Each structure stands twice: as structure tokens, then as C-alpha cells.
Copies of this chain bind each other. A is one copy, B any other.
């Protein structure tokens, strides 16, 4: 669960921005560092708080304007897990094909990676006459331990919703 060196992520993004004629700014750097300085999921609002911890001048608007850039760069992934707000996941760099299980009891999000799921998705897509571009699997499930004990200790690996 090690974080990717901030430096290299920054460099990649600086290249991405340059390629689009976009500029390198201190606010964007703060947002980038905040976005990839954790392996937890976060919302736009939470990212704003984290970025402000690095540079107090970062505004909400800039966060909302920067997030789509990070997503388009391919380094950050946007998740639609059902709630009203979008959730961002910085872990696709390390685990490009992982997916999510949401516990309906405690609402925590657990990540999983499964090569069979990946292969099967590709097969189905091709069989339908398409070329795979992006696959999203969301599993909602009840925690067995929670059912038995009324509480669970699965905290490790899971992020609160």
C-alpha cells in the first residue's frame, strides 16, 4: 500500500499539462500532492481540505477545475458508488484493474483485484462487437462477521464511505 513517489507523479502530470498548453501552478501542485499523498478514497470537498493543508490559498473552484484534469491524465479515477457525491480513487496507478465492494452494513469500501474478472469482461465486450475501454464492477454485499456479531473489524483495507 505504499504511495507512489510524489515527485514522479508530479512530473508525469507536468508533462500532461504541458502537452495541452496548460500551466504549472502552485495551487495545482498542492492539489496533486494532496491527491496522491494518500491511498484513501476522497470527495472533492475532502481533497480541498487536504490541499489546503499544503497551500491555504487553494480554492474550491480550482479543485473542481483540476479534478477533471487528473482524471483525464489517467492517474486518478472517478467512482460512482451510488452516493450523491463522486468519490476519487488514487490507487489505480498501483492496481490498474481493481474494483470495489461496498459493505451495505458499514458502508465501507473494499478494493479487490481479480484477473478472471478482467478476462471475462474483455471476452464479453469483444463478443458484443466492442473493444474494451473501461470496466467498473461494484459489488454491494453484507458482511458475514457483522451479521453474526453486530460489528466487524474489517477496517484494514477498507475506507469509510
Chain A interface residues (CB < 8 Å from chain B)? 80-82, 101, 103-104, 110, 112, 114, 116-117, 120-121, 124-125, 128-145, 147, 154
Contact = CB atoms under 8 A, between A and B. Distances in A.
A154 B144 CA distance: 43
A137 B135 contact: yes
A80 to B, nearest CB: 4
A18 to B, nearest CB: 26
B131 A144 contact: yes
A141 B131 contact: yes
Contact of A140 (B124, B129, B133): B133
Nearest to A114: B124
A106 B100 CA distance: 27
